[in-house]
Structure formats: structure tokens, C-alpha cells
């Protein structure tokens, strides 16, 4: 698959163990999902966006893409060796039900690899939540692309601490490894990239430089003040 991946996505893939059967829960258009073919013999991708799943099925061969909600997965118990949830939990309607389903379809001793925005020092600099924190600035920033329905279409973007995730896991998952990366460059670069996309500005050299800067910052362990967290856990 062409193109490089950076920061959290590279680490997400790197932390994923090799296995027989893997589920990418919240796969969107399948671009990252297809990369897990190097990790598993059978790769499945699930998303509740019909348009994204249609694109994924057409574009990425050798992956089993399924249209479904994370809170109700069409798989039998203990079906997967690994479940990946990359920046998904913060978007689902019911985070507990989504984790219940991930637990159900994962075999005992199986691995959950999860990444979410972290409750860090600069958590308020979030392109999804700007419209709540700074409504006037958000409207100005979006310009002609401003959509008042964004408050409904893109509700509050949840951030988590490791303690929050441990509470959600309960005794079902044991956290084996965690990394809290990114600080201020990560959210600022995401906002910059969103602005460039809204204005249809494409400068490959600039995009590559931003990716490299964000990737370099993400590798540093910022601990409690970090902007993003990735962890690997085992099903008990």
C-alpha cells in the first residue's frame, strides 16, 4: 500500500501483534485497515458509514468489510485474536456498549489496541471542539465552509485519561502498555491541515513537513500533559 503513515497510526500498527484474525473497529474508508494485512491472515473492518464501507470494499481487496455499529457487532463470541480501535471510542454513541462488544468478540487472552484523545494540557485545542470553546473564532476559521449543523453532526469530541479508560475497562482488560504522545504541535497541525483542506490548499511539501513535525513530537512521552494516548491491553 502506497504512502507512509505517521505519529499515532504508525505506533498503532507497530503495537499490533501478529495474529490469525483481526478486527479494525471503526475502519472508515479502510486505508489503515488494509495495512493490517501484514499483521493478520484474516482482516475485518467495521464501520457504520455506508458510503465509507462501499469505498473500502471497492478500493481495498483482501479485507472483509462489514457495515455495522460498534455497539452491535455481527460476529460470534471469541472470534478475533486482536481488536483495534484507533480514534474511535470518542465518537461512538455508547462507549460502554462498544467496549462490551469488543470484549465479547475478542478471545480470552486476546489483544485490544486502542487510541483516543488524551485529557492533556492542550486538550482544549481540538478541531472538533473549537466550535464549543470558541464559537466566534470557529465560524471565522471555517469561513464559507461554516455549517451550523456541525454542532449536531459532530458532537463533543471526548478526551480520556488512562484512569478513565481503566474505569471503562473494569476487570475485563489489563493494560500492558501505554504511551501519551503529542503536546501542542499535534493539535495545532491538525487544525492547520483542516484549514488547508477546507480551502482546498494542496502543497505536498508543506503537508509532508507537518506530518514529520507531528510524528517527531508524538514519539516523546509527555505523560499526564500529553495530547493523545495509545494503549495495548489484554482480555482477561
pLDDT at 207: 92
pTM > 0.85: yes
pLDDT at 77: 98
pLDDT at 94: 95
DSSP state of 72: B
Q: What CA–CA distances, in Å, run from 229 to 31, 74, 129, 173?
A: 21, 28, 18, 16
pLDDT at 141: 86
Question: CB neighbours of 4 closer than 8 A, spacing ≥ 6?
Answer: 211
φ, ψ (nearest 5 deg) of residue 175: -70, 120
Per DSSP, the residues of 2-54 read -S---HHHHHHHHTSPPEEEEEEES-TTSTTGGGGGGTEEEEEEEES-HHHHH
Q: Along the chain (236 residues), what's the average pLDDT of each consecutive run of 10 residues?
A: 80 97 98 97 98 98 97 98 97 95 98 98 93 92 89 92 97 97 96 89 94 96 98 97
Compute the distance between CA of residue 148 and CA of residue 30 in angstroms, rounded to an integer: 29
Domain ranges of the chain: 7-119+159-181+224-235
C-alpha cell at 39: 499483521
pLDDT at 144: 87
CATH fold of 7-119+159-181+224-235 reads Rossmann fold (3.40.50)
Amino acid at each position: 500500500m502506497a504512502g507512509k503513515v505517521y505519529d499515532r497510526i504508525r505506533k498503532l500498527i507497530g503495537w499490533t501483534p501478529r495474529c490469525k484474525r483481526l478486527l479494525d473497529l471503526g475502519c472508515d474508508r479502510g486505508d489503515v485497515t488494509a495495512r493490517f494485512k501484514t499483521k493478520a491472515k484474516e482482516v475485518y473492518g467495521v464501520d457504520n458509514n455506508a458510503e465509507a464501507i462501499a469505498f473500502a470494499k471497492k478500493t481495498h481487496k483482501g479485507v472483509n468489510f462489514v457495515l455495522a455499529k460498534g455497539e452491535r457487532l455481527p460476529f460470534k463470541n471469541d472470534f478475533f485474536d486482536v481488536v483495534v480501535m484507533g480514534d474511535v471510542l470518542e465518537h461512538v454513541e455508547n462507549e460502554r456498549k462498544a467496549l462490551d462488544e469488543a470484549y465479547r468478540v475478542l478471545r480470552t487472552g486476546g489483544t485490544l489496541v486502542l487510541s483516543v484523545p488524551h485529557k492533556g494540557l492542550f486538550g482544549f485545542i481540538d478541531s472538533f471542539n473549537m466550535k464549543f470553546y470558541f464559537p466566534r473564532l470557529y465560524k471565522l476559521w471555517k469561513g464559507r465552509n461554516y455549517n451550523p449543523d456541525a454542532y449536531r453532526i459532530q458532537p463533543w469530541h471526548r478526551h480520556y485519561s488512562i484512569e478513565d479508560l481503566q474505569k471503562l475497562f473494569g476487570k475485563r482488560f489489563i493494560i500492558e502498555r501505554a504511551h501519551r504522545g503529542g503536546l501542542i504541535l499535534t493539535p495545532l497541525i491538525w487544525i492547520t491541515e483542516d484549514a488547508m483542506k477546507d480551502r482546498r490548499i494542496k502543497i505536498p511539501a508543506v503537508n509532508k513537513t507537518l506530518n514529520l513535525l507531528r510524528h517527531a513530537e508524538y514519539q516523546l512521552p509527555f505523560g499526564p500533559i500529553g495530547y493523545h494516548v495509545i494503549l495495548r491491553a489484554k482480555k482477561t
